[in-house]
Amino acid sequence: MGNPAGEQTSQAMAEGSATGLAPVPPAHSEAEIQRSVGARIRELRLSLSMKSVELARQAGISQSQLSKIETGKATLSIKVLSRLCEVLNRPLYYLFQNEENVPRVLGTLSTVEGPERLAFSWFAEELERRTEGRISLIPLSASQLGSGTDQVQRLAEGVIDMFIEDLSHYSPLAPPLGFLAVPYSFASFEHLRAFLTSRHFDEAVRRPLLDHNIRLLNTRWSWRRGIELALVGRETVIQPRDVRGRRVRVPDSGPAAAFWARLGATPVVMPWHEVGQALAREQIDLLPTHKTHITPLGLCRHARYVTLLGDISMAIGVAVNEAKFQALPPTVQDAVVGTSMEAGERFTSRVIEAEKDNEVRNIAENDAVYLKVNLKPWQAAAAKAREDLVGRGILDRATLAAIEACRPAAS
């Protein structure tokens, strides 16, 4: 996330990762294999709070046959085991992998300096503690991995194992997320949360991502990069017309570039780790970013004007490579999910708390100027641009309808 400092390579996380059916050493007897496979099936069933009679019914076998399998007393049939794995939502190789084949290290993108990194460090330390050292997180450099969408592709391929960043980066694989790259798409965070927990989101986002080997772990949507959206520039920007002709940095997201182009700006596609240097070299005029990034990253050293746009803070997705996740035992999976949600709460509170001092410090250190502007012209311009993007097929009309259906009554 942001400007990372870690210079680890993906080789470290590749060691020990399960990539297929793990061979069982010849020294293991057939009886030992049967007991090991049976114990794992029982562990998976109990982790799902599923009764044996229900698992047997769904797998098309008798309860007595399942009992023999779970106690290691049945001759193993790949056909039967495949049906059981289908019900338990696990790949067949999980039943046969050795302990040394379980991933020990999850590679992930490191975060920006300041409170974000502190919260991320807690996540890594707490996950290692809860799994009794079975899982470690290592930071990987964005400069090595490329743009946001490149990193999502690396996640799908298993080059990185976990990615924690704005959901809009996933829009090439799940187009409805393009709305998160367009300002003022949601009236409040409650509105956004309602959309993120809707059936449309499950069907149009979670399912397509799973089809690409990516699992979103978020359940409570506790990761928020707080406060609001801001524009950082060398000259003042008060109204939407002020961005006309200006070079605006955008991620490699089609909707973001189309939005700023619709407002008359010139979009400049650029990876996040290059933005500081681009501002210093005057290669861009404006940088849309989260207010909480401005002071920790020293952006106002090169562009002292900050226009506060008042849009809500976006939710951050915590995603894992599905194949790596399915290679983990249920207890470790639960630890990864639970710790990530608690880490999100710490992340959000740390970021918001730190911002209380950041604005004052930025003014003192960089002579920064914060501009609180009339938001109505921005909201109106965004609404027109959003409708234009829907009309051109860049954004999906069905998703727009789903977003509106989630709007709180008071909005």
Across the chain, mean pLDDT equals: 85
> Contacts for 62-69 with beta carbons within 8 Å, 24 or more apart?
66/41, 69/37, 69/38, 69/41
Q: Which of the four pLDDT bands, split at 50, 70 and 90, describes residue 278?
A: very high
C-alpha distance from residue 134 to each of 39, 86, 118, 138, 291 (Å): 20, 26, 22, 13, 37
Q: Which of the four pLDDT bands, split at 50, 70 and 90, describes residue 23?
A: very low
Exposed / middle / buried, residue 360 (Cβ in 10 Å: 0-12, 13-18, 19+): exposed
Residues of the chain with CATH 3.40.190.170: 102-224+315-353, 229-312+357-405
Residues of the chain with CATH 1.10.260.40: 30-99
pTM: 0.75
CA atoms within 13 A on the CB side of 72: 12
- Tens-digit pLDDT profile for residues 218-275: 988 999 986 899 999 999 999 999 999 999 999 887 899 999 999 999 999 998 888 9
CA angle 33, 36, 41 (to 5 degrees): 120
| CATH 3.40.190.170 is the classification of domain 229-312+357-405 | yes
Three-state SS for 105? strand
The CATH homologous superfamily of the domain defined by 102-224+315-353: Bacterial extracellular solute-binding protein, family 7 (3.40.190.170)
Residue 2 has a pLDDT of: 41
The number of helix segments (H) and strand segments (E) in the chain equals: 18, 11
The answer to whether 107 and 144 have CB atoms below 8 angstroms apart is no
CATH fold of 30-99 reads 434 Repressor (Amino-terminal Domain) (1.10.260)
| Terminal alpha carbon distance of the chain | 31
Residue 10 has pLDDT above 50, yes or no: no
Q: Phi and psi at residue 222, in whole multiples of 5°? A: -85, -15
Residue 390 has pLDDT above 60, yes or no: yes
Q: Which two tokens stand for residue 162?
A: 């976990």
Q: Which residue has the tokens 């979670």?
A: 206
